């Protein structure tokens, strides 16, 4: 159940592109054709599935506060979490290189379809973002970390597939000249993101309202203040 | 600017408009959009990128002759990651609230395409001084867009600028609110960042026809 929930949540609610804007650069640059978009999307799923669990292990056993306790009691109060950026990115860069070599050796056909995208992926924000969100959301087990990697990869894949399909079709529409290309892609992505926000209520069983918009957060406080101000003023009037 | 030659001036001024990293080169969008709901966050983010890109460009440019080209991406990533750790630690020490608000997006400066893009395209082939100017120019170009987006989103979304209530008080109905103006809460939602950038691109390309793309 936990797994299923995380799975749907990462694909639809916390979709990397539409909710957190991760990997926008390659999302915009490589979405001109559906076939290349599929290649890059598949490579992202693959790399996320490898790097998120790896970085989870790193975080759990080396980086977080007290994680070095397994070395002995004298190491228990080390907190190396400030090193997480550099270790995560180093893991990602080496894994991408390694994956590239392995895929080239064992599956040349897969390499031909994924190969050119792999170096691009090392600097894709979605990959590092996956690891950093894994850390900040405090994912509990290795299995869940793997699940998180795969499902957020699938979410990214869906997003790039959708925009690539739309961009192939929009070529036949009469878009205002200054908006052509980049501009209209931004606006379409914005509209798609609004659409994806409607998934927000999918998993909330009532108790799990997370990361509501600032409007919703601010409004009740203001209302309370308003009400209390009124109360104060009315009581003051009564006293007078 | 007597200090800088014509060519050097171009390095700084071009990215501000006609060669803008966000709207023309399509770099560094990832972090640009997520944190622009507040003007303050946009400014802090721009300053962080200014520091990382300025210093990083110089470092890479100084090392450009000794980096083996096969592993240059890893070397670049390590340089950026080090600089970003410095920024992150400084923010945590002096602006803790803000660093909580920016959350992972400070870390994501590492994979901000703008930085790798400038390293690859400029710092690897030019001397330190010119690379520094290029870094500053591009970071400023990035900052300008961030600040424009942040300005409109905060002004229209919550009626404030940097936390000051410039349009009057929505609760006590002063200023614009007295004549029935309402905040557009929609502007605070993340999809609006994309649409605002789309509109900026529209305005920019209508003014400069040379930038228009053929689909």
pLDDT in tens, A25-64: 788 877 888 887 888 888 888 888 989 999 898 888 888 7
pLDDT at residue B173 tops 60: yes
H or E stretch covering A167:
helix A142-170
Tell me what percent of chain A is helix, strand and coil, each rounded to the nearest 5: 80, 0, 20
Highest mean pLDDT among A104-108, B137-141, B211-215: B137-141
Q: Give the confidence band of A214 by pLDDT, cuts at 50, 70, 90.
A: very low
State residue B35 phi and psi, 5-degree precision.
-110, 15
Q: What is the pLDDT of residue A154?
A: 93
Report the C-alpha gap between B106 and B158 in whole angstroms: 24
Strand partners, A155: none
pLDDT at residue A114 tops 70: no
- Closest chain B CA to residue A135: B104
Beta-carbon separation of A125 and B82 below 8 A: no
**Would you list the DSSP string of B172-187?**
TT-GGGGGT----GGG
Strand partners, B161: B164
Beta-carbon separation of A21 and B103 below 8 A: no
Strands (E), chain A: none
Residue B206 DSSP SS3: helix
Q: Residue A211, by phi and psi: left (phi above 0), alpha (psi -120 to 50) or beta?
A: left
- The answer to whether residue A23 neighbours chain B at the CB level (below 8 Å) is yes
Beta-carbon separation of A181 and B34 below 8 A: no
Distance (Å) from the C-alpha of residue A2 to the closest C-alpha of chain B? Answer: 24
Q: Identify whether the C-beta of residue B19 lies closer than 8 Å to the C-beta of residue B193.
A: no
Sign of the CA dihedral running A49, A54, A60, A64? negative
Q: Mean pLDDT over residues A141-169, rounded? A: 90
- The answer to whether residue B156 neighbours chain A at the CB level (below 8 Å) is no
Report the C-alpha gap between A14 and A87 in whole angstroms: 25
> Within 10 A of B7 (CB to CB), how many other CB atoms are there?
9
Counting DSSP H helices and E strands in chain B, the numbers are 9, 0
> Which carries the bigger pLDDT value, residue A57 or residue B29?
A57
Q: Mean pLDDT over residues A116-140, rounded? A: 79
Contacts of A193 in chain B (CB under 8 A): 190-191, 194
Quote the percentage of chain A above a pLDDT of 90: 8
Q: Mean pLDDT over residues B164-173, rounded? A: 74
Q: Give the confidence band of A150 by pLDDT, cuts at 50, 70, 90.
A: very high
Smallest Cβ–Cβ distance between A190 and the set B104, B194, B204 belongs to B194
Find the helix packing angle between A125-136 and A34-58, rounded to 10°: 40
Q: Identify whether the C-beta of residue B114 lies closer than 8 Å to the C-beta of residue B24.
A: no
Contacts of A139 in chain B (CB under 8 A): none
Size of interface A-B (CB pairs under 8 A): 159
pLDDT at residue A195 tops 90: no
Report the C-alpha gap between A104 and A141 in whole angstroms: 31
pLDDT in tens, B107-147: 778 877 788 888 888 888 888 888 888 888 888 888 888 88
Mean pLDDT, rounded, of chain A: 78
Smallest Cβ–Cβ distance between A89 and the set B77, B205, B212 belongs to B77
State residue A210 phi and psi, 5-degree precision.
-110, 150
pTM comes to: 0.79
- The answer to whether residue A85 neighbours chain B at the CB level (below 8 Å) is yes
- The answer to whether residue B89 neighbours chain A at the CB level (below 8 Å) is yes
Smallest Cβ–Cβ distance between A132 and the set B26, B34, B108 belongs to B108
Q: What is the pLDDT of residue B40?
A: 84
Q: ∠ CA B105-B108-B114 to the nearest 5 degrees?
A: 115
Beta-carbon separation of A178 and B193 below 8 A: no
Report the C-alpha gap between A170 and A192 in whole angstroms: 15
Q: Mean pLDDT over residues A1-14, rounded? A: 84
Q: Give the confidence band of A219 by pLDDT, cuts at 50, 70, 90.
A: very low
Q: What is the pLDDT of residue A151?
A: 92
pLDDT at residue A220 tops 50: no
Provide ipTM, 2 decimals. 0.80
> Which carries the bigger pLDDT value, residue B19 or residue B60?
B60
Q: Give the confidence band of B8 by pLDDT, cuts at 50, 70, 90.
A: confident
Distances (CA, A) of B62 to A96, B49, B55, B139: 27, 20, 11, 19
H or E stretch covering A50:
helix A34-58
Beta-carbon separation of B201 and A178 below 8 A: yes
Unique residue bearing structure tokens 């990697």:
A149
- Residues with Cβ within 8 Å of residue B111, at least 6 apart in sequence: A89, A123, A124, A125, A127, A128, A129, B30
- The answer to whether residue B175 neighbours chain A at the CB level (below 8 Å) is no
Q: Identify whether the C-beta of residue A89 lies closer than 8 Å to the C-beta of residue B81.
A: yes
- Closest chain B CA to residue A197: B191
Beta-carbon separation of A194 and B205 below 8 A: no
């Amino acid at each position: 159940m936990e797994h299923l929930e995380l799975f749907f949540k990462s694909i639809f609610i916390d979709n990397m592109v539409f909710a957190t804007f991760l990997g926008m650069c390659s999302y915009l640059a490589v979405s001109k054709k559906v076939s290349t978009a599929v290649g890059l999307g598949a490579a992202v799923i693959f790399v996320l599935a490898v790097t998120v669990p790896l970085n989870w292990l790193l975080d759990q056993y080396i980086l977080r506060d007290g994680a070095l306790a397994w070395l002995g009691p004298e190491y228990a109060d080390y907190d190396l979490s400030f090193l997480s950026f550099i270790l995560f990115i180093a893991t990602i860069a080496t894994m991408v290189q390694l994956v590239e070599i392995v895929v080239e050796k064992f599956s040349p056909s897969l390499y031909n379809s994924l190969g050119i995208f792999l170096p691009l992926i090392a600097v894709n924000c979605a990959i590092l973002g996956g690891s950093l969100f894994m850390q900040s959301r405090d994912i509990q087990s290795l299995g869940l970390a793997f699940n998180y990697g795969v499902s957020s990869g699938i979410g990214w894949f869906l997003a790039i597939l959708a925009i690539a399909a739309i961009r192939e079709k929009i070529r036949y529409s009469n878009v205002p000249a200054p908006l052509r290309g980049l501009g209209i892609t931004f606006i379409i992505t914005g509209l798609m993101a609004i659409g994806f926000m409607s998934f927000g209520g999918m998993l909330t069983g009532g108790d799990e309202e997370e990361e509501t918009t600032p409007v919703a957060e601010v409004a009740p406080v203001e209302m309370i203040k308003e009400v209390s101000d009124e109360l104060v003023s009315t009581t003051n009037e009564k006293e007078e | 600017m007597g200090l800088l030659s014509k060519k050097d001036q171009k390095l700084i001024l071009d990215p501000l408009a006609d060669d803008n990293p966000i709207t023309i080169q399509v770099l560094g969008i990832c972090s640009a959009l997520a944190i622009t709901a507040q003007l303050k966050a946009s400014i802090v983010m721009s300053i962080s990128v200014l520091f990382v890109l300025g210093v990083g460009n110089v470092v890479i440019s100084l090392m450009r002759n000794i980096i083996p080209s096969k592993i240059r991406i890893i070397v670049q990533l390590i340089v950026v990651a080090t600089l970003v750790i410095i920024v992150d630690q400084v923010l945590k020490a002096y602006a803790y609230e803000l660093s909580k608000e920016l959350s992972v997006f400070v870390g994501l400066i590492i994979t901000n395409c703008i930085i790798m893009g400038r390293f690859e395209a400029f710092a690897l082939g030019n001397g330190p001084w010119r690379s520094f100017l290029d870094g500053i120019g591009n970071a400023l170009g990035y900052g300008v867009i961030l600040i424009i987006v942040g300005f409109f989103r905060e002004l229209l979304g919550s009626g404030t600028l940097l936390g000051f209530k410039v349009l009057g008080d929505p609760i006590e109905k002063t200023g614009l609110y007295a004549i029935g103006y309402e905040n557009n809460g929609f502007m605070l939602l993340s999809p609006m960042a994309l649409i605002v950038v789309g509109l900026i691109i529209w305005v920019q390309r209508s003014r400069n026809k040379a930038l228009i793309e053929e689909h």
